[in-house]
Amino acid sequence: MVAATVSDGGRGPERWRSAQRGLSRLLVRDVRGLRRLIIPSRLARSMPDWFAAVQAVVDQYAQASAALGADFYDGQRAEAGVPGSFTVPVEDPPPPEKTEASLRWAVKDVWERDPDAPQTTAAQQEPLEVRLVQAEKKAELVAQKLVADTGRGTVLEAVRQDRQATAWARSAALGACAFCRLLATRGAVYKRDTVDFRAHDGCHCGVLPVFAGQRFELSDKAKEWERLYQQYAAPHSGDQLRRFRRVLAEHDPNPLPGSF
């Protein structure tokens, strides 16, 4: 018998987010450990080795993220009690060119620039060690997104292929950013063929499948986010997100994130 309701506050979504956050912490630890491969006096020669090493780490953790996503989907499907069998299509790690492009963006300010050139940014004028620290933080964030997207992509593709799935909802944690909390209040409005999941670097939101015969119900925390949004932000066209961010900072006991 199909479970009547499913919520973003259920035990399954909470466990999956917790597992993905744990994976992210281990990923950041390993990416940070590769910093030694970048030799400041030989950037052009040492950076390719760093790219390759981070690529290998991202691939390893992306596979683990995809496995977590598949296990989560199987668990939600079993809990829903839908008939028939289904094999979750496990997503591959991100293409090498995508990972390299993300990492090149992260380190773009490391390279020396002409301080008098008009395109030089304030970040590029910082001492090299400062630029390296900033690049490392950006690299950790983009690596986290690449890995988390692989798990989310696994669930999204499963929803698309599974005839028993009808929609999906965004599952956000208590400490999520205003953008993610706002999207989470929309509920299961994303249909089977909606594959676009809007995520930012450091995003830990999950994808919650909804199956035929189920009714989606917002968690208590998401209901409160919706109330705050409707009362303080919705009437102000063009300024909703800024106002929502401000009201969360003022009224929500869970602080907006600074980092993961």
Question: H/E/C letters for each residue in 61-115?
Answer: HHHHHHHHHHHHHHHHHHHHCCCCCCCCCCCCCCCHHHHHHHHHHHCCCCCCCCC
Which pLDDT score, from 0 to 100, does residue 116 have? 62
193 falls in which pLDDT band (50, 70, 90)? confident
Which pLDDT score, from 0 to 100, does residue 2 have? 56
Gyration radius of the chain over CA positions: 21
User: Are β-strands 206-211 and 215-217 bridged in parallel, bridged antiparallel, or unpaired?
Assistant: unpaired
Instruction: Reply yes or no on whether the pLDDT at 246 is more than 80.
Output: yes
Which pLDDT score, from 0 to 100, does residue 209 have? 96
In residues, how long is the chain?
A: 260
As a three-state string, the secondary structure of 187-249 is: CCCEECCCCCCCCCCCCCCEEEEEECCCEEECCHHHHHHHHHHHHHCCCCCCCHHHHHHHHHH
Over residues 84-116, the pLDDT tens digits come to: 999 999 999 999 999 999 999 999 988 876 666
Mean pLDDT of 142-151: 96
Mean pLDDT of 251-255: 76
State the Cα–Cα distance between residues 54 and 50, nearest whole angstrom.
6
Instruction: Reply yes or no on whether the pLDDT at 71 is more than 80.
Output: yes
259 falls in which pLDDT band (50, 70, 90)? very low
Greater confidence, 238 or 117? Answer: 238
pTM: 0.89
Which pLDDT score, from 0 to 100, does residue 147 have? 97
Mean pLDDT over the full length of the chain = 90
Which pLDDT score, from 0 to 100, does residue 151 have? 97
